[in-house]
A and B are shown apart, each in its own frame.
Chain A
Amino acid sequence: MRGQLYQIVLIVLGVVVAALFGVFVYREMFPEYALYQDDYIALEEFRSTYTGEAPPIFKKGIKQIVLEDKNKGPEEIDRCISCHVALDFQHFSPTKIDYDINGNMKRDAKGYPLQVPNEEYVWEKLDRKIADLQDVAVNDRLESEGKSSEVLRRKSLAAEYEKLKTVKVGGYTYDTSKVLRMHPLMGKETRPFQFHPIEEYGCSSCHGGNGRGLTTDTAHGPVFDGMYEEEFMGHSPVFLEKDPANDPLFSKVFNHKPGHTLLFQTTPILIGSLIEAKCIQCHQPTSASLQNAYRGVTDPSNKIKEQFEESEKSYQNDLQHLATLLELRNSLKEKGFFATYTKLQQEEQNYAIPQIIRKKPSKKLTGKLQRLSEIPIFSLILYKNISAIICKILKQRDISSIKQNFSK
């Protein structure tokens, strides 16, 4: 009995494990980038129907730009071109450079090439073709002529072309015309990547994002509203006023962390107003480079000035200290140790005198003497000899030579 049950369970489990493994195999076989590549191939085939040219040879699969590190470190890898396969094809650009009748490029006053709408734009051609195929008048005429199979064919073809415009991945619908598009021309470029070869610069060096990613999730991060599923609700700033319609985004997602369903972004992709943020890291405006040059000259001279001021200040300090010591010597000579000591002590406790005078260096000296005098043996020696010792020390120093040193 139990043996049979085991046998049945064994068979069921075998089927379950095989099925689960099958799901993983399916995932490997149909990755996201393949959907865009299929669309691209279909578009090229569609284009060949009206140009009469054979569609270009395209090998499906992961495509990547590997930027070797000079110091043999890990290479930078950008796999963006696995999905964005049409980055340098003119017929995927909505605009094109305008030429005059002699075949010369039209440029504006600054020398930038002028652009006009591109009549070769594949997506527009596709739209027109779909509109043609769905034309009610034509279809009605064909119907009345009894060519209903032809009408059906036209409609199915239109539906097929319509499908190319979107790709559905994980419950989201992506606009393929944004994925399959030529890179816009920058500055004086006349063809994409003219001055910034893509093999040399890659993609993520300018755009940010995770170049290794092969899905929209991992490469771009959140691209739809509500995709940014925040999970860690950190401390949010509290504002006096709240205006849900106009408050900036950061006031809502200040410390929030992306949920774990969203795989982590190493570097965020730069979009919207930040799309040109990386340009300035290499291309500095003239004013900035001028400022740098100016700083390069003024900085050393400022430094020398600071050094001079510093030495001037320390010279003044030393002079002041010397004067205090001289005063102390005179006082010791004339009034004796105890009188000087008591006078200084009184001064120290007299808070009417400004602090600078109370905290004179000579005060430190008396403080030390007092501490020493609290030790009985030292006090005996000190009380006898202290005034004599101090006078001797001060006499030994040639004051004029000190002064000369300072002035140097």
Chain B
Amino acid sequence: MAVFQGNRGESWTEYLLNLPKLFVRSIFRHNYPNNDVDRSEIIFKNFFLHFHPVKCHKNSLDPFYTLGLGAITTSLFLLLTITGILLMFFYIPAEDRAYTIMKDWQNTTPFAMMYRNMHRWSAHMMVLFVFLHMSRVFYTGSYKGERRFNWVIGIILMVLTLLLSFTGYLLPWDQLAFWAITVGSNIAGYAPNIPGFEYNINRVMLLASTEVGQDALIRFYVLHVALLPLFMGTLIGVHFWRIRKDGGLSRPPDKLRPEPYRVVQRSDTKESYAPGVKRTYGLMELVRGTCPTVDKGPYNFVFTWPHLLRAEMVAFLATTALILLLSFIDAPLEEPANASHPPNPSKAPWYFLGLQEMVAYNAFWGGIAIPGLIVVGLMVIPYLDRNPQGEGVWFHRSRYLAIFFYTLFMTFQGILIIVGTYFRGANWGWIWPWTETFSRH
């Protein structure tokens, strides 16, 4: 009778021959993902991929559903982080050095101008794409149901994006930076002061002083490179985690529902679906055996590796290509900051020009109250919208009123920004862009 003798001890030669494989296996705990088990394992066991689900719905991969806007925004954040860290190696947040460093970047520091241009244009693009992504989520009704609070997190991320752009604007320490931040901080100064304080506490808290100077520079620098990115990264993590826990991206209910007791096979793709197989959050698919559910996943789900990852890579590379193309345009750098020579008009960064335009009518309402109400109003949208229909569908017919008001609001904001950018000249007076007095700022 054969008795199990235990495994034969490994000889040294065998060990050495296996060593390369052992070493690779100690790093990558899965095989190359060319079969379904390993495609599952790579997502499950890889730290960098683990925030993906093993399988994702085909709808999430439809480029005409998401337009890749969230992925592009994330890509921009990654690009900004990478280029920002590289620039941090060369930057000194000092009043008398910051500008000369910008000049050195133009001339001597290798690739610094490329990084700076990429950083600058990525920042502008990120503000734009955050708004586009928000609009996509609104128009597809993706904030409904379980996703309500994720919309609120998204709004906070939007505010953080604006703050990051704003704080970064000061760092080159040229005229453009100095006066844009002066305008921006003056807007903050329109918030009611605490009685008994000589200077507006909000403005002083922002600038660490009564005017833009060295104190403001170091404060903005720390906010820009440490505090706000930390908040941003954490909240992006929460944003993604909630999407994952809500079962992937929003989508309309499946049109084809597999019958619960019969294995069906689609005639076109020959994919077959098991009866009653639902989404699980563990590695619980049966891949061996003879029962009907073996090797069958939930309806219309495909493996993340390679489908979703490929789509994400496409979004990332497309974004990188766009930003590299934009980087052939040099980021603006004007004269060094000069507190005694204000340009007329002094303009905030473009995404705050809507605000500045409103401030021109009424400082408190335009600069503080209305923007505050806008942010709060955007946050409460999922709690005001009681229409359960239209989730995951672009421009659902039942949501025409909501869509109308959102579009109206966004168009109005857009018009304000365009007016502030192109139609305002000296003393914030009205000018026509094609006339002689038009100035670029």
Tell me whether A73 and B310 are in contact (CB under 8 A): no
Tell me whether B317 and A6 are in contact (CB under 8 A): no
* Contact residues in B for A231 (Cβ distance below 8 Å): 440
Roughly how many angstroms separate A361 CA and B178 CA in the complex, as a whole number?
54
Distance (Å) between the CB of B322 and the closest chain A CB? 10
- Nearest-CB residue, chain A, relative to B112: A28
* Contact residues in B for A214 (Cβ distance below 8 Å): 107-108
Tell me whether B103 and A7 are in contact (CB under 8 A): no
Tell me whether B317 and A13 are in contact (CB under 8 A): yes
Tell me whether B335 and A10 are in contact (CB under 8 A): no
Decide if A210 is an interface residue (CB 8 Å cutoff): yes
Decide if B114 is an interface residue (CB 8 Å cutoff): yes
* Contact residues in A for B335 (Cβ distance below 8 Å): 264, 266
Decide if A394 is an interface residue (CB 8 Å cutoff): no
Question: B residues 341-364 with Cβ under 8 Å of A?
Answer: none
Distance (Å) between the CB of B440 and the closest chain A CB? 6
Distance (Å) between the CB of B20 and the closest chain A CB? 29
- Nearest-CB residue, chain A, relative to B94: A74
Distance (Å) between the CB of B436 and the closest chain A CB? 5
Decide if A2 is an interface residue (CB 8 Å cutoff): yes
Roughly how many angstroms separate A62 CA and B107 CA in the complex, as a whole number?
10
* Contact residues in A for B380 (Cβ distance below 8 Å): none
Decide if B320 is an interface residue (CB 8 Å cutoff): yes
* Contact residues in A for B114 (Cβ distance below 8 Å): 24
Decide if A388 is an interface residue (CB 8 Å cutoff): no
Decide if A213 is an interface residue (CB 8 Å cutoff): yes
Please encode chain B, from 402 to 441, with 1 for each CB lying within 8 Å of some chain A CB and 0 for all others: 0000000000000000000000000000000000111110
Roughly how many angstroms separate A264 CA and B439 CA in the complex, as a whole number?
16
Decide if A378 is an interface residue (CB 8 Å cutoff): no
Decide if A115 is an interface residue (CB 8 Å cutoff): no
Please encode chain A, from 109 to 129, with 1 for each CB lying within 8 Å of some chain B CB and 0 for all others: 000000000000000000000
Decide if B333 is an interface residue (CB 8 Å cutoff): yes
- A-B contacts counted at CB < 8 A amount to 84
The total of chain B residues at the interface (CB under 8 A) is 38
Distance (Å) between the CB of A19 and the closest chain B CB? 9
Decide if B164 is an interface residue (CB 8 Å cutoff): no
Distance (Å) between the CB of A274 and the closest chain B CB? 20
Distance (Å) between the CB of A105 and the closest chain B CB? 41
Tell me whether A6 and B314 are in contact (CB under 8 A): yes
Decide if B110 is an interface residue (CB 8 Å cutoff): yes
Please encode chain A, from 220 to 235, with 1 for each CB lying within 8 Å of some chain B CB and 0 for all others: 0000000000011111
Tell me whether B314 and A2 are in contact (CB under 8 A): no
* Contact residues in A for B332 (Cβ distance below 8 Å): 260
Tell me whether A213 and B311 are in contact (CB under 8 A): no
Known pairs A3-B310, A6-B310, A17-B324; A218 contacts B440 (CB<8 A): no
Decide if B318 is an interface residue (CB 8 Å cutoff): yes
Decide if A159 is an interface residue (CB 8 Å cutoff): no
- Nearest-CB residue, chain B, relative to A31: B107
Decide if A79 is an interface residue (CB 8 Å cutoff): yes
* Contact residues in B for A74 (Cβ distance below 8 Å): 96-97, 100
Roughly how many angstroms separate A2 CA and B100 CA in the complex, as a whole number?
50
Roughly how many angstroms separate A266 CA and B100 CA in the complex, as a whole number?
10
* Contact residues in B for A263 (Cβ distance below 8 Å): 106, 330, 333
* Contact residues in A for B110 (Cβ distance below 8 Å): 28
Decide if A16 is an interface residue (CB 8 Å cutoff): yes
Distance (Å) between the CB of A374 and the closest chain B CB? 39
For A3, A9, A17, the residue with the greatest tally of chain B CB atoms inside 10 Å of its CB is A17
Decide if B307 is an interface residue (CB 8 Å cutoff): yes
Decide if A212 is an interface residue (CB 8 Å cutoff): yes
Distance (Å) between the CB of B61 and the closest chain A CB? 7
For B100, B106, B306, B330, the residue with the greatest tally of chain A CB atoms inside 10 Å of its CB is B106
Tell me whether B330 and A6 are in contact (CB under 8 A): no
Please encode chain B, from 292 to 306, with 1 for each CB lying within 8 Å of some chain A CB and 0 for all others: 000000000000001
* Contact residues in A for B438 (Cβ distance below 8 Å): 233
Known pairs A13-B314, A79-B107, A264-B334; A232 contacts B440 (CB<8 A): yes
Decide if A20 is an interface residue (CB 8 Å cutoff): yes
Tell me whether A257 and B439 are in contact (CB under 8 A): yes
Tell me whether B439 and A17 are in contact (CB under 8 A): no
Roughly how many angstroms separate A73 CA and B324 CA in the complex, as a whole number?
36
Tell me whether B336 and A215 are in contact (CB under 8 A): no
Tell me whether A24 and B440 are in contact (CB under 8 A): no
Decide if B321 is an interface residue (CB 8 Å cutoff): yes
* Contact residues in B for A406 (Cβ distance below 8 Å): none
Decide if A21 is an interface residue (CB 8 Å cutoff): yes
- Nearest-CB residue, chain B, relative to A24: B114
* Contact residues in A for B321 (Cβ distance below 8 Å): 13, 16-17, 20
Decide if B78 is an interface residue (CB 8 Å cutoff): no
Tell me whether B440 and A10 are in contact (CB under 8 A): no
Tell me whether A2 and B61 are in contact (CB under 8 A): yes
Question: B residues 178-214 with Cβ under 8 Å of A?
Answer: none
Decide if A14 is an interface residue (CB 8 Å cutoff): yes
Q: Which of B100, B107, B314, B324 contacts A20 (CB 8 A)?
A: B324
Roughly how many angstroms separate A82 CA and B225 CA in the complex, as a whole number?
34
Please encode chain A, from 198 to 218, with 1 for each CB lying within 8 Å of some chain B CB and 0 for all others: 000000000000101111001
Known pairs A3-B307, A62-B108, A212-B107; A73 contacts B334 (CB<8 A): no
Please encode chain A, from 224 to 253, with 1 for each CB lying within 8 Å of some chain B CB and 0 for all others: 000000011111000000000000000000
Decide if B400 is an interface residue (CB 8 Å cutoff): no
Tell me whether A28 and B111 are in contact (CB under 8 A): yes
Question: B residues 100-133 with Cβ under 8 Å of A?
Answer: 100, 103-104, 106-108, 110-111, 114
For A6, A257, A260, the residue with the greatest tally of chain B CB atoms inside 10 Å of its CB is A6
For B307, B314, B325, the residue with the greatest tally of chain A CB atoms inside 10 Å of its CB is B314
Decide if B313 is an interface residue (CB 8 Å cutoff): yes
* Contact residues in A for B313 (Cβ distance below 8 Å): 10
Roughly how many angstroms separate A214 CA and B104 CA in the complex, as a whole number?
9
* Contact residues in A for B111 (Cβ distance below 8 Å): 24, 28
Q: Which of B107, B306, B336, B439 contacts A213 (CB 8 A)?
A: B107
Tell me whether A7 and B310 are in contact (CB under 8 A): yes
- Nearest-CB residue, chain B, relative to A233: B436
* Contact residues in B for A79 (Cβ distance below 8 Å): 107-108
Known pairs A17-B324, A20-B321, A232-B440; A213 contacts B310 (CB<8 A): no
Distance (Å) between the CB of B219 and the closest chain A CB? 21
5 residue pairs from A and B, CB less than 8 Å apart: A13-B321, A17-B320, A20-B321, A62-B108, A77-B104
Task: Give the B-binding residues of A (Cβ under 8 A).
Answer: 2-3, 6-7, 9-10, 13-14, 16-17, 20-21, 23-24, 28, 62, 73-74, 77, 79, 210, 212-215, 218, 231-235, 257, 260, 263-264, 266
Closest 5 CB pairs of A and B: A13-B317, A20-B324, A214-B107, A232-B439, A212-B103
